[in-house]
Chains A and B, each alone.
Chain A
Amino acid sequence: GENVGLHLPTLSVQEGDNSIINCAYSNSASDYFIWYKQESGKGPQFIIDIRSNMDKRQGQRVTVLLNKTVKHLSLQIAATQPGDSAVYFCAEPYEYNFNKFYFGSGTKLNVKP
């Protein structure tokens, strides 16, 4: 690949199992979070977002959970498929007068067939 996933935490799951990817954020005042998927050599792809007035949001096969008490975000992928193999990272805003985000380095998801 393009070394996007080099030295990242890795999660290996069996095809068909559920995956949970975690993200800790730093600012208790953060009010909007985004999850992205990045395949090797490609640009990040928007998966799902959540605002702080929600604890949970569901998309197609994906669910994001937000725990504001411990500043923790998780992405759950149901029935993981080989095409889900990628680096997943979360984004947290760090400047509130404009749309600036801190992007985590991510977790590499390996799906075993």
Chain B
Amino acid sequence: DGGITQSPKYLFRKEGQNVTLSCEQNLNHDAMYWYRQDPGQGLRLIYYSQIVNDFQKGDIAEGYSVSREKKESFPLTVTSAQKNPTAFYLCASSIGGPGGQETQYFGPGTRLLVL
């Protein structure tokens, strides 16, 4: 059963704490993405990775970090520097490769709440 999985579904963060959101895909996609979704707004790109061991900042990377050590995994860490972390976080992947636009497929999301 191919697809993108995210865990946990809900995550609670205390003040000053770093938390890590998991994203795994078995679609054999090269490219992976992290987005943040706030109520009534469009998705905003946090980080993206075109290939293993490489990633770039998106539009709102401050307070976040990522790694891409394996093709199938792209975890996102929300650091204590992110002052407004409460949001719905979405991971996506696409086939990847140079040029051209292609469909991004999304995981089920993780809702992060601050205690």
Binding site for B on A (CB under 8 A): 2-8, 31-32, 34, 36, 41-46, 49, 89, 91, 93, 96-106
Contacts and interface: CB of A to CB of B under 8 A. Distances in A.
30 contacts: A2-B111, A3-B39, A4-B37, A5-B40, A6-B39, A6-B40, A7-B40, A31-B101, A32-B100, A32-B101, A32-B102, A41-B111, A43-B106, A43-B107, A44-B43, A46-B103, A46-B106, A96-B101, A97-B99, A98-B50, A99-B31, A99-B96, A99-B101, A101-B104, A103-B35, A103-B42, A103-B43, A105-B41, A105-B42, A106-B42
Nearest to B110: A43
A18 to B, nearest CB: 25
Interface of B: 4, 6, 31, 35, 37, 39-43, 45, 48, 50, 58, 88, 90, 94, 96, 99-109, 111
Contacts of B102: 32, 99
Contacts of B96: 99
Contacts of B105: 46
A100 to B, nearest CB: 7
Contacts of B58: 100
A91 B109 CA distance: 18
A104 B42 contact: yes
A41 B37 CA distance: 11
Contacts of A46: 103, 105-106
Q: Which of B48, B58, B104, B108 has the most CB of A within 10 A?
A: B104
Contacts of A103: 35, 42-43
